[in-house]
Amino acid sequence: MISRQEVEHVAKLARLHFDEEELARLQPELGQIIDYVRQLAELDLSGLEPTSHAVPLKNVLRPDEPVAGLSQAEATSNGPDVERGQFVVPRIG
């Protein structure tokens, strides 16, 4: 299970807000999913390395040649609030 306090703490970390009704639904749903995945915590996998990449890869180098990327105007074209080529945000804290 996952406690109400834990759900609220995790929501804060994830920058999400849930109202009372949503929390009442979410807490048991998350509890059920976490109970299901907890089966792995009980396995003895001590001899195994965690997978970091599932296909064997080796480093490949390439010449460091600059190529054109997006222009500033293109890169900011989807910004909800843009001023003089910069993203504008509300005051911090």
Whole-number minimum distance, CB 20 to another protein, in Å?
Answer: 14
Q: Which amino acid is at 25?
A: R
Q: How far is CA 14 from the centre of its chain?
A: 8
Residues in touch with another protein (CB under 8 A): 2, 6-7, 10-11, 13-18, 26, 29-30, 32-34, 36-37, 39-41, 43, 45, 48-55, 57, 62, 70, 74-81, 87, 89-93
Whole-number minimum distance, CB 2 to another protein, in Å?
Answer: 7
23 membership: H or E segment, kind and range: helix 20-37
Whole-number minimum distance, CB 47 to another protein, in Å?
Answer: 9
Whole-number minimum distance, CB 44 to another protein, in Å?
Answer: 10
Q: Which is nearer to another protein, 20 or 39 (CB)?
A: 39
Q: Which is nearer to another protein, 20 or 57 (CB)?
A: 57
Q: Tokens standing for 73?
A: 């105007």
